[in-house]
Amino acid sequence: MRFRHNAIAKVTSLALATTLSLTGIVPAAAAAAPNTTAVFQPVQLPCQSAVVRYSAHTGSTAVGALQDGTELIVLEEGDNWYAVNCGEMTGYVRAEQVVQSDGVYTISCQGGDETLQWQSVAAGELESAQEAVIQEAMNHLGTPYVWGGKAPGGFDCSGFVYYVYGQMGYSMGYDAVQQLKDGLVVDRSELEPGDLVFFQGTSWQSSIVTHVGIYAGDGEFIHASNSGIAVASLDDEYWQGHYFGARRVLVAGVTLHGIASSGTGVSN
């Protein structure tokens, strides 16, 4: 998909995750996460709202929602997705849910309520969320490797990540390629506990990534090795040679807002 540069439109401030009342989004108590240590909570989206995602595809992590009529700062415009300013990050909304009039871009959508996993951590709880993920992963050290396993009786690499984050209340794809689509791209020099680390060429599979683990800090990651759940070093010659990249799914509450400006609010 190719985006073309577009003028930045005026925006109405809208806070997500940390001030859910501004979007009319409330926690869905009936859809509580499966574990009392969950750090991600499901929410109920209001009618006529557009889901904002980390990247430009429907399987990407959802970071919040914009209600009908919300004005946007549009950074790039594509055939199917618009990239919009989200403060410290760029979010994506479907093009069919955005209209433009006199240089102003606005959310315009119709739709009923849906339950959505709110894929961000409450502000101020990021460190404790990281600790919870690592502790859950460490609880399974020594669990045997089982091809296709995604339960405490046995795990494969992606099944282990799927299970650990599932215990935290996070919804993600089962295999490593699907998990690669989650979260924010992170440089190896900026890894934090809980980040997903991916490797390629570690098996007979021809997929873009063939192995995944959970970064634990200090250059180490927890993964399902052939001998079971174990801790390994990213500096190990083997893993260093097969390292592909990382994704961050533990993200503190996202705020969608515009850059304050006077007059028309249009910038280059």
Q: What pLDDT, in 10s, does the model give residues 124-137?
A: 778 888 999 999 99
What pLDDT, on the 0 to 100 scale, is given for residue 171?
Answer: 77
Angstrom distance (rounded) from CA 12 to CA 69: 10
Residue type, 174: Y
Domains along the chain? 4-120 (2.30.30.40), 126-248 (3.90.1720.10)
Q: Is 30 helix (H, G, I), strand (E, B) or coil?
A: helix
DSSP element (H, E) containing 138: helix 126-138
Counting as low any pLDDT under 70, the low residues of the chain are 1-48, 59, 61-64, 87-89, 110-120, 122-123, 206, 252-268
What pLDDT does residue 251 have?
74
Note the pLDDT tens digit of each residue in 37-73: 445 544 455 556 777 887 888 767 666 677 788 888 8
Q: How far apart are CA 28 and CA 3, in angstroms?
A: 35
pLDDT digits 0-9 by tens, 198-226: 999 998 876 789 999 999 999 999 999 99
- pLDDT in the model for residue 123: 61
Q: Are 25 and 44 in contact (CB under 8 A)?
A: yes
CA-closest candidate to residue 63, choices 84, 78, 80, 79 = 84
Percent of the chain with pLDDT over 90: 37
Rounded CA gap, 22 and 12, in Å?
11
Provide CB contacts within 8 A for 90, sequence distance 6+. Answer: 75, 83, 84
- pTM recorded for the entire structure: 0.60
Phi–psi pair at 241, nearest 5 degrees: -75, -20
Shortest CA distance to 64 belongs to which of 93, 35, 39? Answer: 93
Q: Give the pLDDT confidence score for residue 208 in this predicted structure.
A: 85
- At 163, which helix (H) or strand (E)? helix 157-167
Show which residues are catalytic. Answer: 157, 211, 223
